[in-house]
Amino acid sequence: MKSIRTVQELIDALSVELDLEWDGWCGDNAILDDRHEQEIGAPAGPLNLIRPNQIQIIGPPEQAHLLSGDPENYQHCLKQLFTPPPVALLFTNGLEPTPECKTRAQSCKTAIITTARPDHLVIDRLFERFSQSTGETLLVHGVFMEVLGKGVLLSGNPAIGKSELALALISRGHRLIADDAAELYKTHSHTIMGRCPKVLQDFLEVRGLGLINIRAMFGNSAIKPDKRLHLIIDLVHFDDEKLNNMDRLEGSHSLRTLLDVEIPQTSLPVAAGRNLAILVETAVRQHMLSIDGYNAARDFIQRQQNHIDQHPKKAATDIGPD
């Protein structure tokens, strides 16, 4: 199936099915960016002024929100909506953009599309269309989990404890997608999705216990069929020298390229007595904070620098963290 890269291609692919029509400036060559979703927003979704979608879908609830309040508030909402400008606005349920909205869209070269179809149908179809595989797949060794709502691939050498860690995470309420082998595929929105090969679905192998049917043991809620890959956690055995050379403030973080998409990776040292399940949860929370722009190491360094600037004599005798 052909990938959708421009607004015109979107119209060509779905105009009949969703009754899509141009309204005002067409913007047919406007390009959907293929960078990481966290950099430029999801390809399409309901109106989001915090993390804008490239195609902002406006149904009755979103239109009511925009028009609530006085005219000054509406102008403020429009300013937010077009900063930065989306590739397109898609009005559902027969809604029409206001003249002010059309004017801003024209000046920002934002396409306006309308349809009489209901918002839930349009949203579901676009999500489905942008989540479909491009045909590029990759089978990787590891355990694929949903942890705190994020897709996490646990990687590492055989017998390092990935399945035992997965079992601990499942016991803490997280969900299994695939054990031993995860099938990754690239979508039209240039993200990586993961699923389990059918022959392995529901099963987890734990040394000493053998095969465990997670669905039978923990229930349907412990299994998820597929998930977008957000983070790779690589379990590694570090010797004393490697541990001593690790950056104690920043940790060990990098990027790993899968199917031409860069995925954040955290290397997690494995050692006796470490509660890896809690460490994985913390790594996911740390990843979520980094998406929002927060970095604890930078925050700590800035705090120390402020202390030194304010109390230079006292700071000379202070002792840093162990």
Q: Which of 76, 120, 248, 285 is catalytic?
A: 248
Question: If we measure between CA atoms, which residue out of 153, 192, 193 comes closest to residue 169?
Answer: 153
Instruction: Give catalytic status of residue 141 as yes or no.
Output: yes
Q: Which of 180, 202, 228, 253 is catalytic?
A: 180
Q: Among residues 162, 174, 175, 186, which one is catalytic?
A: 162
Token pair in block for residue 111: 């396409």
Annotated active-site residue 162? The verdict is yes
Q: Do strands 261-269 and 226-236 pair parallel, antiparallel, or not at all (unpaired)?
A: parallel
Length of the chain: 322
Specify the 3-state DSSP secondary structure of 158: coil
First to last CA, the chain: 55
229, 143 in Cβ contact below 8 A?
no
318 is catalytic: no
Q: Catalytic annotation on 109? A: no
Residues with Cβ within 8 Å of residue 237, at least 6 apart in sequence: 157, 160, 269, 270
| Structural contact between residues 111 and 88, judged by C-beta atoms closer than 8 angstroms | yes
Which one of 65, 141, 237, 314 is the catalytic residue? 141
Catalytic positions: 141, 162, 180, 248
